[in-house]
DNA sequence: TTGTATGCGTTATCAT
DNA sequence: ATGATAACGCATACAA
């Protein structure tokens, strides 16, 4: 196999009959350049198929063009949506996305991330929930001089470092939707302790209940861990109640699917016997039967905004209007899993 | 914010009282080194918290430590599983994973990938199905001197460049399972034309049907595009048949979920009225109702093997037994979506 | 407007 | 076993 040696800036300079610096100026779009020489150099660049070596650039500029994505696998679809949103912005820049999944259960997580940051020295990092809620992590980044953007369920940092959704309002709206359908006993499957998203979503639930003048019953609130099985367990407890709730709001779709599962097992028909509302609008929400009413938050849009905040104008990226926003609104997607409570007809 | 200047090899050399080359030797585990000096240097490295600059290394070595993942979004869970398998191996090495999603519908896909390869010059790339089936793409990598590993449903390259699953056998086993349950009219939802996986899975279906001495009926074979909606459309056509099939094998879980959806819409009970088998064992398979009997292929294991093939011993990675294998077996996961055909009791 | 000298942090060559 | 020096490909400071 022949060795396809990449042409370097020297080759371009030699063939174009100029100095490397001039080529460098062309590459970096220096304004003070003779139009003739620019064209000539660009011609040679095109002929040779020359591409600047990113590593050499990084070395000379004393900064690289890596954006890190640090997360602890919230859910597959979300991670992928974030990756897509990020890459959509990064694609036209010289930045690359590198991944760094971590294990929030590990006591060495912070050290692990520190090692990653010190080794790669990424230009910036994107922090996904739930670890994005960790203030020590944000401080670690700041201390190391690595810019960061956190994604979360509420504004927990300054706008420049944050893209947030309004989980509380969104859930309040979702539960109000159930109340408007006639439900009075509404169960909540809350997220795990220590998650800001869990807190926000529960707060939204409570706000809606109280605003409607309904009693806030602790037995109607069960915690899960955002996983399918925990949704099943929570549903068991909720459906064992007498009288049992006529509707359940689940803090994410996966647990909501667990509720549906249990309902099926018990011979309950959804939504006639039990209404269910989820959160996330992952693909499973529209694929299960019946299709799930759920809250959709604009993950890809938020990721794009985050990317713009991170690279903000650097490396060819242009901050768009997305770049300014840091709070994003979620919307209720109405499907077939909600109906009036039994006997309400 | 203070500038946390990284210590360089020069700092280490100066403080340890040796030359940079000696430090370099320590880092790279050169065998010819005095034990004393090695320990002394390692001590200083630890004290300073020195980490070699990957960009500078890449420049000097004329090769970088990037592994690219090129894919056209087969499905979220698969992409994520691959990422995890890859990163599991890469984590202990100096390699980083960079992403490059593409659009196989675009006529410029190959040019786009070429630009990516020429710019980043990754050490190696991992190609996911379906674009991994594209021979021109493999040739492009080879021509550019970029090593690659393809992931696919059958061995379509030499072992060093391939991790393959045995889709054909796996599907054959799955359909035989249906036949053993008593089914004689078994529908197939095939994958889209142009996909090797679609060909292999259809072949497995046909082998099972013929081996059982059943008639191979073209009306029982409908093509989908691996997406949920296409599964619904295919199911409509299959269930409109008279007599209708008593079982359906779907070439992936997402389409199988579509079948389940249509069955529900038509008031058919699964598995009593209709048995369904899927392929992939994505989370949705176990989360829908009833839980789906499906074929699981060892994606993460395959990805680990691929990573070992790519970095093979380089950069601290040690080829394990995974590294040798290039053919991986899938297994049938039996859940609740299969029963004897109606009236068979 | 363009060129020269120098540095970025590392490894390779060839000494000693 | 260790060190001086020259790459690697690019950018910056300073001249011209």
Q: Does B142 touch chain A (CB under 8 A)?
A: yes
Predicted pLDDT of residue B319: 54
CB neighbours of A162 closer than 8 A, spacing ≥ 6? Answer: A149, A150, A151, A152, A155, A156, A326
Predicted pLDDT of residue A63: 86
Both B257 and B183 in one domain: the answer is yes
Predicted pLDDT of residue B4: 56
Both B283 and B175 in one domain: the answer is yes
Nearest CB among A6, A59, A289 relative to B260 is that of: A289
Summarised one tens digit per residue, pLDDT across range B22-67 is: 999 998 888 878 888 899 999 999 998 999 998 899 889 888 899 9
Residue A3 has pLDDT above 80, yes or no: no
Q: Does B159 touch chain A (CB under 8 A)?
A: no
Predicted pLDDT of residue B77: 85
CA atoms within 13 A on the CB side of A272: 4
Q: Tell me the CA–C1' distance in angstroms for A18 and D13.
A: 19
Q: Name the more confident of B342 and A19.
A: B342
CA distance A161 to A255: 30
Residue B3 has pLDDT above 50, yes or no: no
Averaged confidence pLDDT in chain B? 92
Do B150 and B138 touch, CB atoms closer than 8 A? Answer: yes
Summarised one tens digit per residue, pLDDT across range A308-333 is: 999 986 555 555 555 568 999 999 99
User: Is A10 within the bounds of a domain?
Assistant: yes
Among residues B296, B318, B337, which one ends one of the domains?
B296
How many CB atoms neighbour CB B109 within 10 A? 18
| A61/chain B closest Cα distance in angstroms | 11
Read off the tokens for A181: 């359908």
Cβ of B59 within 8 Å of Cβ of A64? The answer is no
User: Is B335 within the bounds of a domain?
Assistant: no
Q: Report percent pLDDT > 90 for chain A.
A: 70
Residue whose CA is minimally distant from D5 C1': B21
Both B203 and B127 in one domain: the answer is no
Both A161 and A191 in one domain: the answer is no
Nearest CB among A121, A145, A257 relative to B287 is that of: A257
Report the pLDDT averaged over residues B273-288: 96
Region of B307 on the Ramachandran plot (φ > 0 left; ψ -120 to 50 alpha; else beta): alpha
The domain tally of chain A equals 3
Residue with token string 């036949």? B179
User: Is A335 within the bounds of a domain?
Assistant: no
Residues 173-192 (A) near nucleic chain C, CB < 7 A = none
As to burial, measured by CB atoms within 10 angstroms (0-12 exposed, 13-18 middle, 19+ buried), residue A112 is middle
Residue B151 has pLDDT above 90, yes or no: yes
**Residue B73: its chain A contacts at CB < 8 A?**
80
Residue B198 has pLDDT above 90, yes or no: yes
CA distance B41 to A293: 62
User: Is A344 within the bounds of a domain?
Assistant: no
CA distance A333 to A282: 11
Cis amide linkage into residue B271, ω under 30° from 0: yes
Both B212 and B176 in one domain: the answer is yes
Both A155 and A184 in one domain: the answer is no
Predicted pLDDT of residue B1: 40
Confidence of residue B317 (pLDDT cuts 50, 70, 90): low
Region of B182 on the Ramachandran plot (φ > 0 left; ψ -120 to 50 alpha; else beta): left
Return residues 4-63 of B near A (CB < 8 Å). Answer: 4, 6, 49, 51, 53-56, 58-59
Helix (H, G, I), strand (E, B) or coil at B190: strand
Both B159 and B176 in one domain: the answer is no
Cβ of B3 within 8 Å of Cβ of A145? The answer is yes
Instruction: State whether the beta carbon of A91 lies below 7 angstroms from any atom of strand C.
Output: no
Summarised one tens digit per residue, pLDDT across range B87-124 is: 999 988 889 999 999 998 899 999 999 999 988 889 99
Residue A266 has pLDDT above 90, yes or no: yes
Nearest CB among B144, B257, B261 relative to A4 is that of: B144
Both A29 and A145 in one domain: the answer is no
Report the pLDDT averaged over residues A5-15: 86
Predicted pLDDT of residue A123: 94
Cβ of A257 within 8 Å of Cβ of B6? The answer is no
Both B286 and B190 in one domain: the answer is yes
Both B158 and B304 in one domain: the answer is yes
Both A75 and A160 in one domain: the answer is yes
**Residue A284: its chain B contacts at CB < 8 A?**
283-284, 287-288
Q: Which of A104, A99, A102, A58 is nearest to A80 (CA)?
A: A99
Q: Which of A171, A174, A185 is nearest to A344 (CA)?
A: A185
Residue A21 has pLDDT above 80, yes or no: yes
Return residues 180-209 of A near B (CB < 8 Å). Answer: none
CA distance B283 to B227: 15
CA distance B240 to B296: 30
Averaged confidence pLDDT in chain A? 91
Confidence of residue B314 (pLDDT cuts 50, 70, 90): low
Both B183 and B264 in one domain: the answer is yes
As to burial, measured by CB atoms within 10 angstroms (0-12 exposed, 13-18 middle, 19+ buried), residue B237 is middle
Read off the tokens for A190: 């809350």
Summarised one tens digit per residue, pLDDT across range B244-265 is: 999 999 999 999 999 999 999 9
Residue B318 has pLDDT above 80, yes or no: no
Largest CA distance in chain B: 87
User: Is A8 within the bounds of a domain?
Assistant: yes
Read off the tokens for B337: 């979506």
Domain that holds residue B200: 167-296
CATH code of the domain in which A275 resides: 3.40.50.2300
Report the pLDDT averaged over residues A251-271: 97
User: Is A48 within the bounds of a domain?
Assistant: no
Protein contacts on strand D: list nucleotides below 7 Å from a Cβ.
1-5, 7-13
| B161/chain A closest Cα distance in angstroms | 16
In this structure, of A45-49, A209-213, B201-205, B332-336, the range with the lowest mean pLDDT score is A45-49
Do A166 and A337 touch, CB atoms closer than 8 A? Answer: no
Report the pLDDT averaged over residues B223-250: 97
Q: Does B118 touch chain A (CB under 8 A)?
A: yes
CA distance A64 to B52: 14
Q: Which of A321, A271, A310 is nearest to A69 (CA)?
A: A310
| A33/chain B closest Cα distance in angstroms | 25
Summarised one tens digit per residue, pLDDT across range A23-69 is: 888 888 877 788 888 888 888 899 888 888 988 988 898 888 999 99
Report the residue count for chain A.
345
**Residue B144: its chain A contacts at CB < 8 A?**
4
User: Is B7 within the bounds of a domain?
Assistant: yes
Do B125 and B99 touch, CB atoms closer than 8 A? Answer: no
Summarised one tens digit per residue, pLDDT across range A67-110 is: 999 999 878 888 999 999 999 999 888 899 999 999 988 999 99
| A77/chain B closest Cα distance in angstroms | 6
CATH code of the domain in which A34 resides: 1.10.260.40
Return residues 120-139 of B near A (CB < 8 Å). Answer: 120-121
Residue B2 has pLDDT above 90, yes or no: no
CA distance A224 to A246: 19
CA atoms within 13 A on the CB side of A22: 21
Protein contacts on strand C: list nucleotides below 7 Å from a Cβ.
1-5, 7-13
Confidence of residue B320 (pLDDT cuts 50, 70, 90): low
Q: Report percent pLDDT > 70 for chain B.
A: 94
Region of B26 on the Ramachandran plot (φ > 0 left; ψ -120 to 50 alpha; else beta): alpha
- For B233-295, the DSSP string reads HHHHHHHHSSSPPSEEEESSHHHHHHHHHHHHHTTPPTTTT-EEEEEE--HHHHHSSSPPEEE
CA distance B109 to B15: 51
Confidence of residue A4 (pLDDT cuts 50, 70, 90): low
Return residues 285-304 of B near A (CB < 8 Å). Answer: 286-290
Among B27, B76, B78, B84, pick the best mutation site for testing chain A contact (most A Cβ within 10 A). B76
CA distance B180 to B281: 21
CB neighbours of A37 closer than 8 A, spacing ≥ 6? Answer: A16, A18, A22, A26
Residue B129 has pLDDT above 60, yes or no: yes
Using alpha carbons only, give the angle A49, A55, A57 rounded to the nearest 5 degrees. Answer: 80
User: Is A50 within the bounds of a domain?
Assistant: no
Predicted pLDDT of residue B179: 98
| A212/chain B closest Cα distance in angstroms | 33
Q: Does A221 touch chain B (CB under 8 A)?
A: no
């Amino acid at each position: 196999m022949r060795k396809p040696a990449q042409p370097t800036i020297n080759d371009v300079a030699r063939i174009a009959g100029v100095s490397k610096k001039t080529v460098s100026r062309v590459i970096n779009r220096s304004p003070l350049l003779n139009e003739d020489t620019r064209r000539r150099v660009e011609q040679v660049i095109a002929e040779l198929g020359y591409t600047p070596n990113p590593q050499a650039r990084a070395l000379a500029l004393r900064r690289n063009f890596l954006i890190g994505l640090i997360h602890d696998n919230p859910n597959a679809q979300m991670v992928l949506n974030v990756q897509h949103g990020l890459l959509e912005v990064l694609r036209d820049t010289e930045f690359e996305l590198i991944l760094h999944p971590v294990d929030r259960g590990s006591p060495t997580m912070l050290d692990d991330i520190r090692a990653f940051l010190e080794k790669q020295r990424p230009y910036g990092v994107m922090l996904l929930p739930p670890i994005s809620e960790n203030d020590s992590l944000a401080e670690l980044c700041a201390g190391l001089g690595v810019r960061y953007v956190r994604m979360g369920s509420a504004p927990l940092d300054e706008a420049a470092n944050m893209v947030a959704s309004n989980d509380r309002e969104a859930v309040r709206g979702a539960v109000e939707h159930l109340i408007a359908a006639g439900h009075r006993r509404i169960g909540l499957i809350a997220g795990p302790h220590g998650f800001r998203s869990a807190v926000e979503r529960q707060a939204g639930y409570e706000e809606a209940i109280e605003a409607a003048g309904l009693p806030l019953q602790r037995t109607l609130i069960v915690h899960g861990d955002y996983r399918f099985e925990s949704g099943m367990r929570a549903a068991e407890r909720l459906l064992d109640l007498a009288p049992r709730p006529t509707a359940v709001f689940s803090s994410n779709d996966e647990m909501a699917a667990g509720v549906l599962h249990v309902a099926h097992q018990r011979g309950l028909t959804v939504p006639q016997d039990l209404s269910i509302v989820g959160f996330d609008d992952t693909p499973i929400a529209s694929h299960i039967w019946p299709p799930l009413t759920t809250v959709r938050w604009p993950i890809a849009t938020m990721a794009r905004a985050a990317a713009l905040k991170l690279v903000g104008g650097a490396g060819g990226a242009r901050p768009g209007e997305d770049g300014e926003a840091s709070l994003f609104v979620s919307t209720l997607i109405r499907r077939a899993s909600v109906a009036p409570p039994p006997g309400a007809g």
